[in-house]
Structure 1
Amino acid sequence: MKTSSGLPWSVGEPVGPLVGGDRITADSGTVHRHIYPATGQVNATVTLAGAAEMDRAVGCAREAQRQWMALTVDVRRDRLIDLADVIGEHRDELAALNVADYAVPISFAGTALLLERFLRHFAGYVDKPHGASTPVNGSFDMNLVEREPYGVVGVIAPWNGSLAVAGSCVAPALAAGNAVVFKPSELAPLAALRFGELCLLAGLPPGLVNVVPSAAEGGDALVRHPGVGKIHFTGGGATARTVIKAAADNLTPVVAELGGKSASIVFADADLDRAASLSAHQGPLMQAGQSCACASRILVHASVYDDFVEEFLAVVNSARIGDPTDPAVTLGPVISQPAVERILGVIDEAVRTSAGELLTGGRRLGGELAQGYYLEPTVFGNTDNSSSLAQLETFGPVVSVIRFGDDSEAVRIANDSVYGLNAFIQTRDLHRAHRVAQSLEAGSVWINTFSDIAPQGPYGGYKQSGFGRTGGVDGMYEFMRIKNVRIGLG
């Protein structure tokens, strides 16, 4: 039952971590007042987990994992399908909670559907073979290669995609036979907490999915816990280094999906109308540029540069900015006041250092949006790719347009980055598309489309965009460890 605030609980009522199937109080944690970025007002009070609650969550997960693996594969498969059904039935509610979490426009809040798709996909893997048998030199022994769950997996999600991470990480972890301690960010815990409740509603054993919002203290306790078999972290590079160092104490393996400064290459033969629309969506408009998949460097062939910029600016400047609950709105606020200040600092430095020509935007919005954290979509033209503007991840509605002369120069500029998560190509030439895609240092290359992540495709980065994959059989295997069993028959 939703209250007048639109949430399934009262704003003044603290929402606690979900551990072992129960809401718990967090004596070792703190209380966080969750701010709705569209208004700057408190819309929920969340009790954050500390070290004691993380320890309790891991203990519950260990017990639930034993119960989970005691079920036959067909039962586990069907439970995950049941969970997908429940997610589908509550899709609108989860989308609304996504909006409440970080004010993503409802028109872009479709990650509940993505979660459902990942669950259905990985449920199909539960009863499929994961191992092999191989011959052994000089022997007739039976040599088995088996894949087994880690036991308890810690999944750490960023504020801008808790449901997406639930799909890409929690779903395959469960399908592989693990239990999960799921740590959403304190900045966006609401949809994740509801996901935990829906796991119970679908019949998963209590404690199989524990949802424990926390700040740095709780996250550190989870990563260092000796009962956790593996950590999957999604977030920024600086935090990833801290996570990896903490996990090293127990030699706990870590998968990291990190940031990006992705290039979108628009060749002269591209459909410029489509390229402009895709670039605007994938750049400053998608989640106000607050996405690791954001194409924040747009490389355009010199012969069509002026025409593209004209069309691109027309799309960007026609974006409707406002109330994220309005289906017509395509651009919402950034996450917080510190984010506003940081992004405006990036823009000011770019102007001061002549990193590029400011073509549009660059200011905070006022009027009826003044209390929220709204920024104008901002575009710099003729950007210097060696500048901080083009090299550092802004994580806001700011993009750079860069001119290139030929294919080799486009590839050189695109690869001139410490990041390598995504790359985008706009061309009608199939040969060029294949040739350039092979040359780009990126984990995913999207040709004439946006980053439409699907459970069938492995997703992850090169270089400082991380390591490991989600999606596909590779994403499943991230949550399984290999055991060799040899049976002597001689």
Structure 2
Amino acid sequence: MERFYLDIAGEARAAADGEWFEAINPATGRPWALVARATREDALAAVEAAASAWAKWRLTPGAERARLLNRLGDLVDANHERLALAETLGNGKTITETRGQMAGLARYFHYYAGFADKLEGAVIPVEDVTAHVYAEWEPVGVCVFILPWNSPLPLCAQKLAPALATGNTVIVKPSEFTSTSIAVLMELVREAGFPPGVVNVVTGPGADIGEALISAPETALIAFTGGEAAGAAVAACAGRNLKRVTLELGGKSPQLVFADADIESAAHGVIQGIFASTGQSCVAGSRLLVHHSLQQALIERIVALVATLKIGDPLDPATRIGPIATAPQLDRVLRYFEIAAADGASLVTGGSRVARGDGEQGYFVAPTIYADVCSDMRIAREEVFGPLLAVITFDDEDEALALANDSHFGLAAGIWSRDGARVHRVARKLQCGIVWANCYRTSSVAMPFGGFKRSGIGREGGSAMIRDYLQQKAVWINTRDGFTASLAS
């Protein structure tokens, strides 16, 4: 099988103890590659490499950082098909989806390259006219990125690009389930010409490696994307060590379909929201809140559209529903089918595992819809992270908003209505970080991405994200001849 290595100080290397672990193709349930299993020693070596590289990288002119980022963007663009294949083999997303993601991946590097030579400070007028005072921005230092398994390459790029643009060095810790595509990206980082140690990758199960990276005195910022419980553990560890932290966590995003909505558009939007990525997306529209007058017609149309979605080999361009990414996640989704039935929800379609039909034992489940859901049921409150849609009805706008905001998550929401005033009114009252109206899951590197409440801390994407990777220094210069201490006689 193909082997994928650690990347430390610009060198692809095996783990210190020579151990490997298997990468499993979720479409077949079979191992297809071996990945270096990093030790704590490897993690600390990556920290040392990143800290050493930062001493020079932080002083590299912004124009040079921009040149390298643009070069990396060009290489990513030229290798988007290879990256798409690596992502699909790793996590089972359909090749159609990963090709779309990879086609836009270079945009992160090109976009943030534009900021690298524009990190301007300011001369500040203060009360003492004899002082020349200015404030300037500097990088925070060594950044640790802990990635999930559902979209490793896009989630890495949206952190990596602004961090490098602002003069930081980086250690990437991908999920042990999906490490291989990050290794392919690192080949392009080296080819682009980044100095050794500016970007490092350590792979393997997370607990020991993650704790070592977060606790190391040299690391300054921890950027985590993943589940709520793991995010809380990361934040606690970072807090004990007084590290900056950004968290992009889960969601239980509602789609609000009002009585005046275009049913056809809403049906397509609901499908896009919950069944794209096989529901394995933090912004998955997993709660359908629909006006009672439209419930039957909308569900019938959604079921008819779902019947047209091909489930199977994610490398087949005709496939629209790929496998669940990991065996533990498959078990979790199947348990929620049992939970929904026990809680009294009515199964509309799906609710079971699906065989491929060619003898392969992949991690496939059917797109699943439950009706007669109450807002206190577990499938309406907990993040399933799979293709499970919970349908809840409402009578008026106030009830729809109350249901939508009745969640400890607050990542995203969708609004379906022809009433422009209602769209603005409801968008203002929704307690979440992203609102889509008459569309869903559209995105841009230029827009901030993040949530309210337990959906996270901080934002990714957009110009404001630059500030997360910078710290401000105030400089006071005395322009008088001499200096007299106020305490001296």
- Tell whether the structures are fold-level matches, with TM greater than 0.5: yes
In structure 2, the residue matched to 1:63 is 52
SS in 1 for 2:123: strand
Among 200, 222, 239, which residue is 1:248 paired with? 239
Q: Does 1:50 align with 2:39?
A: yes
In structure 1, the residue matched to 2:473 is 483
The residue identity in structure 2 corresponding to 1:165 is L
Give, in whole Å, the separation in 1 of the partners of 2:27 and 2:102: 21
In structure 2, the residue matched to 1:5 is none
Give, in whole Å, the separation in 1 of the partners of 2:302 and 2:260: 16
Among 38, 41, 45, which residue is 2:30 paired with? 41
The residue identity in structure 1 corresponding to 2:336 is V
- Residues 322, 369 of structure 1: 8 Å contact kept: no
Compute the displacement of 1:28 (Å).
5.0
Correspondence list, 1:19-418, <5 A: 19-27=8-16, 30-109=19-98, 110-216=100-206, 217-283=208-274, 285-354=275-344, 356-366=345-355, 367-368=357-358, 371-418=361-408
* Runs of 5+ consecutive residues of structure 2 not aligned to the other structure: 481-489
- Residues 38, 323 of structure 1: 8 Å contact kept: yes
CA separation of 1:432/1:250 partners in 2, compared to 1, >3 Å: closer, same or farther? same
The residue identity in structure 1 corresponding to 2:242 is L
Q: Does 1:446 align with 2:436?
A: yes
Indicate the percent of aligned positions where both proteins have the same amino acid. Answer: 37
Give, in whole Å, the separation in 1 of the partners of 2:360 and 2:403: 38
Alignment deviations for residues 356-389 of structure 1 (CA, whole Å, 9 cap, x no partner): 2110000111243660010011001121111111
Give, in whole Å, the separation in 1 of the partners of 2:301 and 2:121: 52
CA separation of 1:291/1:450 partners in 2, compared to 1, >3 Å: closer, same or farther? same
Which is worse superposed, 387-396 or 122-131?
122-131
Give, in whole Å, the separation in 2 of the partners of 1:198 and 1:66: 23
In structure 2, the residue matched to 1:7 is none
Compute the displacement of 1:114 (Å).
3.2
The residue identity in structure 2 corresponding to 1:89 is A
Q: Does 1:427 align with 2:417?
A: yes
The residue identity in structure 1 corresponding to 2:229 is A
SS in 1 for 2:404: helix
SS in 1 for 2:435: strand
SS in 2 for 1:445: strand
Moved runs in structure 1, 4+ residues, more than 4 A? none
- Residues 62, 118 of structure 2: 8 Å contact kept: no
Give, in whole Å, the separation in 1 of the partners of 2:59 and 2:326: 45
CA separation of 1:461/1:286 partners in 2, compared to 1, >3 Å: closer, same or farther? same
The residue identity in structure 2 corresponding to 1:45 is L
Give, in whole Å, the separation in 1 of the partners of 2:231 and 2:341: 31
Compute the displacement of 1:449 (Å).
1.6
Q: RMSD in angstroms over aligned alpha carbons?
A: 1.5
Compute the displacement of 1:325 (Å).
0.3
- Residues 360, 380 of structure 1: 8 Å contact kept: yes
* Runs of 5+ consecutive residues of structure 1 not aligned to the other structure: 1-10
Which is worse superposed, 444-453 or 255-264?
444-453
SS in 2 for 1:269: coil
CA separation of 1:142/1:434 partners in 2, compared to 1, >3 Å: closer, same or farther? farther
Give, in whole Å, the separation in 1 of the partners of 2:178 and 2:468: 25
Alignment deviations for residues 396-429 of structure 1 (CA, whole Å, 9 cap, x no partner): 1111111111111111100000100111111222
- Residues 29, 50 of structure 1: 8 Å contact kept: no
CA separation of 1:252/1:298 partners in 2, compared to 1, >3 Å: closer, same or farther? same
Compute the displacement of 1:145 (Å).
2.3
The residue identity in structure 2 corresponding to 1:209 is V
CA separation of 1:140/1:458 partners in 2, compared to 1, >3 Å: closer, same or farther? farther
Which is worse superposed, 148-157 or 104-113?
104-113
Give, in whole Å, the separation in 1 of the partners of 2:401 and 2:283: 18
The residue identity in structure 2 corresponding to 1:358 is L
Alignment deviations for residues 175-224 of structure 1 (CA, whole Å, 9 cap, x no partner): 11101101111100111111111011111112211121121221121111
SS in 2 for 1:442: coil
Which is worse superposed, 151-160 or 55-64?
55-64
Q: Tell me the TM-score normalized by structure 2.
A: 0.95
